[in-house]
Structure 1
Amino acid sequence: MAAEEAPGTVRVDSWIWSVRLTKTRSLAAAACRGGHVRVNNERVKPAYAVRPGDEVRLRDGGYERIVVVRKLIRKRVGATVAAECYVDHSPPPPPREELVVVALRDRGAGRPTKRDRRELERLHSRNG
């Protein structure tokens, strides 16, 4: 039988999933096991109990979400209700890069000419 939670606490993986910071609970648990979740600057396991006022840091895809627990929920809810359960202190996401031009050649177009090669090199040096 699973260990009972203290009143006023929720498992961190369940809470992260419930407030829609991850798509699935198994992804939230994997993030905890991988060391990508910190509560009050401590790495935590999926069963760690969060309380209101705790700061949760979730690193996902090179971007860090920093949220403070406002309300505890155990079941996944809609996005508007989920947003009321935490205070978001995350830094703004980095600006999206300009549209990257990818040099594509038609299949069977043959060997590139000297002019084509120079254009490819110019594009690669601009994007790299």
Structure 2
Amino acid sequence: MNTEPLNKVRIDKWLWAARFFKTRSLAKQAIEGGKVHVDGQRVKASRDITPGMVLQIRQGFDEREVIVKALSEQRRGAPEAALLYEETQESIARRELSAQQRKLAYALQPVTEGRPTKKQRRQIHQFKESQYWD
């Protein structure tokens, strides 16, 4: 077993180990899709990262900016994975603001009753037939 400290790790392995993505192939797809940037530049999955680099990671609605604190090629539990990076304060504030805006936008949507019941469907069909054939 190799016990020497890591100097660099492939970005797809690190994203998987840090639990940003469930599998390495999902991490690779995100990198190739332009959803991961290192120091503001688009990268390839084989790019080596070192501690101190700044990553921008977009997942769904959220966009995180994290600073690499430590390296790992092994996927561990969430508490250990959280020690591999530190999210910037600006990133946390932006994510909270966008989550709040999404909640407000959802609250402003009109409330619908859902699908019509069987009785309501019959009434709709009856109404449509009376309109078209009269």
Instruction: Give TM-score scaled by structure 1 length.
Output: 0.74
**Which of 91, 105, 112 is the matching residue for 1:102?**
112
Matched residue, 1:92: 95
Matched residue, 2:123: 111
* Distance in 1, Cα, partners of 2:58 & 2:112: 29
Distance verdict in 2 for CA 1:74–1:107, change over 3 Å = farther
Secondary structure at 2:117 match in 1: coil
Following TM superposition, by how much is the alpha carbon of 1:55 offset from its aligned partner in structure 2, in angstroms?
0.4
Rg larger for: 2
Following TM superposition, by how much is the alpha carbon of 1:111 offset from its aligned partner in structure 2, in angstroms?
3.1
Residue pair 2:63, 2:95 contacting (<8 A) in 1 also? no
More helix by share: 2
Letter in 2 for 1:25: R
Secondary structure at 1:83 match in 2: helix
Q: 2:37 matched to 1:42?
A: no
Deviations 1:31-90 (A, max 9, x none): 011111100000001010010000011111131011100000001111000111100122
| Gap regions ≥5 residues in structure 1 | 1-6, 113-128
Following TM superposition, by how much is the alpha carbon of 1:99 offset from its aligned partner in structure 2, in angstroms?
8.8
Matched residue, 1:4: none
Instruction: Give TM-score scaled by structure 2 length.
Output: 0.71
Secondary structure at 1:58 match in 2: strand
Secondary structure at 1:84 match in 2: helix
Secondary structure at 2:56 match in 1: strand
Structure 1 stretch 44-53 or stretch 59-68: which is displaced more?
A: 59-68
Secondary structure at 1:111 match in 2: helix
Residue pair 2:69, 2:85 contacting (<8 A) in 1 also? yes
How many residue pairs get matched? 106
Q: Which runs of 4+ in 1 moved over 4 A?
A: none
* Distance in 2, Cα, partners of 1:92 & 1:11: 26
Structure 1 vs Structure 2: percent identity of aligned residues? 36
Mapping for residues 1-128 of structure 1, pairs under 5 Å: 8-89=7-88, 90=91, 91-93=94-96, 94-95=99-100, 96=103, 97-98=106-107, 101-104=111-114, 105-109=116-120, 110-112=122-124
* Distance in 1, Cα, partners of 2:23 & 2:78: 14
